[in-house]
Structure 1
């Protein structure tokens, strides 16, 4: 009875536990180094809180730094403990990403506040430009993306076989087409938010500072709404927001061994939304649910989540059979 909780607790790798706490440790060390360098140039009290860019909260410099260090320490320990307790749950990589984003956002805000008070005689005169908020958001997003990348994909559940899919009964010499559009509202919101923040930051602080946000928005939006098409040429994916000739991916019939359909769990199997890569395959997963599963001739698998996936898979199998028959296979 006593060994089960201990085994469950130790099931999470220590690497990911430390990965969740690591950014807070970095911020604590950076804050300590910064304070040691500017302590003699800070007013007493210093401006520690702002409203509309104007200072409206004051505290002693040691008290401000001690409070910030305590918050960072609690968050770091809590993040590491949470990841350790969750073991190898699918959401662990996203918890790590959230810890990196939180540590970077808070750390940027604290360091920015200390630097704003350097060499100021009267703390009431300290100002905080509004564009600093956008910069802080960008720093948090970039740190979160880095943390998510380093965390890797969640462990894969046992692979479920694709449902058996019959061929469509198409008379010889006739063709048919199938097309559906799949959209992801969260990616639309994220793309628009990144572009909006990038435009604001570009106007206020320069376009070089906004390049990361603008690039992130431009990368999100084409994946936010995708048209999936099956025809006599194979399977193709095209961004709905771009001209139809622009394709994210095209898989010709000669590369398809067989197609099927099944329910896809985007976080458990791929670690998130978007165009995802994993061992043994890839996929465009904008939500969990019904999806086309294409087994390629090289043994890998391509998955795309879309409604009416069974019909699309059946049509793909019909065209694949025809292609093999023409080639004498």
Structure 2
């Protein structure tokens, strides 16, 4: 089975399976569920949200399917970037497992109170939620192993074209280049999402709030990134953290250059983008470091002074292919 298919299954399968588990629990417990039942457990392990059992089942199933569709789309969208697709897949599957565990736990807790009981007495120990998140993490680890890596592309065997820009360096000299780039618009969107997540958690339940926060936290990390060009190739990390790290090794770069990128027209938006034939980090429109890869695709990252970074990469690639690999000039 191709790695892309495995990633898609890892991302999507937990959501219909969670639907089946929730529906099975509901029909097992329905004669013992209070009316209305507790649908949300708030601070202090007290029930603070109530709903008709049938409505709770419907909302839960629709929510699982909707989240599954979102992660299916994200997995498809990142199909040209195997490393990122792998991360999206295990995150999507882990979310489905964790939320399924917790919703089944809520149904079981209601059944323990009984059909004639008061739903306000329903409690869900914090360790139950902890087990749910632990199950999601375990699934994510297993999914990471199952999805595997794609076969590494063959390294570049030719120097960059003679007309490609180069940075003069002596035989014993080495150099590195780094810049930090940020996006004010994305910072605003992130702030709105985090505030929305907090609001949803207080008003509508922490499950929905966690979904908003799960999308908001990665956006925080991508509001400002550090772009480096050196003998390791192109490396992009959050400006304040060394991880997560996106690296395009020097041996995968056939030629580096720079060009103007329009975020909407060329890549359909901001942030990490992946489309057939092109992927990269786009925090704004404008000058971008561009690398033509051995796979035939292009990697771009919008950053100031991209021309200097490209010239340095071409020089370092020439040196490596001449000295280290016996490559033709």
TM-score computed with the length of structure 1 as normaliser = 0.48
Query: Relative contact order: is structure 1 or structure 2 higher (C-alpha 8 Å, sep ≥ 6)?
Result: 2
TM-score computed with the length of structure 2 as normaliser = 0.48
